[in-house]
Structure 1
Amino acid sequence: MLRRSLSAQTNGEARITDILRSKFPRASAIKVVDISGGCGAMYEVNVESVEFKGKRVVQQHQMINQALKDEIQAMHGLRIFTAVPKVCDGEDSQ
């Protein structure tokens, strides 16, 4: 398995991260990993954002797919993980 520095992002990871940051400005966490060994064929994205609050998981994933629609055309695959932060906009967890 190919290992690289945790702080070094590939160009593809950086590009996808930038797109997701612009589409989800209220995201508390965005992580993009090229899981194809660095060739850019398959990515795993993790996005935690209040923009997902009140949406079903399938709707959250559709939002990610829509944000990355142009990039997805060149990919072999995309793993998507989404979450709503435990505490949103100062609200207490219930």
Structure 2
Amino acid sequence: MAAWGPATATVLLRGIRGLPLRCAHGTFASQTEGELRVTQMLREKFPPATAIKVTDISGGCGALYEIKIELEDFKEKRTVQQHQMVNQALKEAIKEMHGLRIFTLVPRC
């Protein structure tokens, strides 16, 4: 997988009264249940993706995710269009999130 640069990032933060940006967490496996759920949703929507990485950056409570996705379909699309594709794929799941950070990349070669 290639390096992810800040030029490819979009951050969507939603202020939800009463919910902290960071949540307390305990010990968890390599991927949380939320990370696995979001990863599965992206794999179903983008089967030809060469890389998908979902990280819960809220401390494990599922309020804030970072998504990195590498997909040939992003070629010839502006960054905002690439991110719209990801947002559309996660439309229902986003309703339950506090925020989302998206990094998109077109595979080399």
> What residue is the counterpart of 1:64 in the other structure?
86
2:51 is aligned with 1:23: no
In the TM superposition, residue 3 of structure 1 has moved relative to its aligned partner by: 9.0
SS of equivalent to 2:92: helix
The one of the two structures with greater contact order (alpha-carbon pairs below 8 A, sep at least 6) is 2
Q: Which amino acid aligns with 2:104?
A: T
In the TM superposition, residue 62 of structure 1 has moved relative to its aligned partner by: 0.1
1:56-89 alpha-carbon deviations (Å, 9 max, x no partner): 00000000000000000010000000000011xx
Structure 2 residue runs of 5 or longer lacking an equivalent are 1-24
> What residue is the counterpart of 2:101 in the other structure?
79
- What is the RMSD computed on CA atoms of the aligned residues? 1.8
TM-score of the pair, normalised by structure 2:
0.73
In the TM superposition, residue 54 of structure 1 has moved relative to its aligned partner by: 0.7
Query: CA 1:10/1:66 → structure 2, altered by over 3 Å: closer, same or farther?
Result: same
1:26-76 alpha-carbon deviations (Å, 9 max, x no partner): 100000000000000000000000111110000000000000000000100
Q: Structure 2: how far apart are the matches of 1:76 and 1:54? A: 30
TM-score of the pair, normalised by structure 1:
0.85
Q: Structure 2: how far apart are the matches of 1:3 and 1:49? A: 33
- Percent identity, please: 62
The number of aligned residues is 86
